[in-house]
Amino acid sequence: MEALALERKAEQNRELRERLMQLKKERNAIILAHYYQRDEIQEVADFRGDSFLLAQKAAETDADVIVFCGVHFMGESAKILAPNKTVIIPDERAGCPMADMVNVDGLRKLKAQHPNAKVVTYINSSAEIKAETDICCTSANAVRVVNSVDSDEIIWVPDKNLGHYVQQKTDKKMIIWEGYCNTHDMLTVKDVEEMKAKYPNAQFVVHPECRPEVVELGDFVGSTTAIIKYCKESDCQEFIVGTEDGTGYQLRLDSPNKTFHFATKYLVCPNMKVNNLKKLVKCLETMQPQIYVPEDVASKARLSLERMLQVK
């Protein structure tokens, strides 16, 4: 029975992929998928990447339609950078709890309390927050962005763990918002120590969205893209991975002979995983749900994203 079900699923996926290719041609569409998406989505994507790479691809593409397989704020960033394109996402319920932890009123109050500070916002935030921001950053370029800002005082939103990591690498005074990523923040020192005892030859690679005491245990600390690159280039053959489990797809693709253990089975972002192949095909058929960002918000948010793209 199980074999039959798997065969049927494989056949269904084949049909969905064929339909997808046909729709992509008809719509002149490009599919962007975040590294945390399900394998079946990463397999059919034109580009896989982290928020930063995908934001760049959205800004550069000649396609008329951008299908963004990620969470809502990523679709917004694509729409802000490519306002004349149609941006659709497979499921509009794909939100980001961390992005929801910061609100415009709270940020405005903080700005009023620190009038000389510049606001640096992690890209994992809503368009409204980006519109209140001097410059955006990603985990890949956060340190470079903070150090590029012409102010000694930084208001940092919304991720306190990444903020703490950046704080170690800059002389600037950072006022850090208390948000966090539910998925990365779950990883504990106990989890990592147990895995290290179980796999003594493995290196621990960790995302700076994890708690500071967990990040301290890392043999390598970096963004999702940096972790993938490090594992590919490293002589080490075995890794304990401290980031979302969707990353496994690219890690295994790049390094088929290496072994990857995720630091806990709970490193799964439920919001990233709501997208699937069926929803991806359906959104291209119906051209819904579309991402809209009001122009007054988009024009301010665009400045903060464009400034980020200029930081070398």
51 has binding-site annotation: yes
- Give, rounded to a whole angstrom, the gap between the first and last alpha carbons of the chain: 55
Residue length of the chain: 312
Q: Are strands 86-88 and 29-34 parallel, antiparallel or unpaired?
A: unpaired
34 has binding-site annotation: yes
CA-angle at 148, arms to 81 and 298, nearest 5°:
20
96 has binding-site annotation: yes
Q: Where are the beta strands (DSSP E) in 12-158?
A: 29-34, 47-49, 65-69, 86-88, 118-122, 135-137, 153-157
137 has binding-site annotation: no
Q: Tell me if residue 141 falls in helix, strand or coil.
A: coil
What contacts 186, CB < 8 A, 6 or more positions away?
Answer: 264, 266, 267
123 has binding-site annotation: yes
139 has binding-site annotation: yes
10 Å CB burial of residue 2 (0-12, 13-18, 19+) is exposed
236 has binding-site annotation: no
Residues at the annotated binding site for iminosuccinate?
34, 51, 122-124, 139, 207-209, 224
Residues at the annotated binding site?
34, 51, 96, 122-124, 139, 181, 207-209, 224, 269
Residues at the annotated binding site for [4Fe-4S] cluster?
96, 181, 269
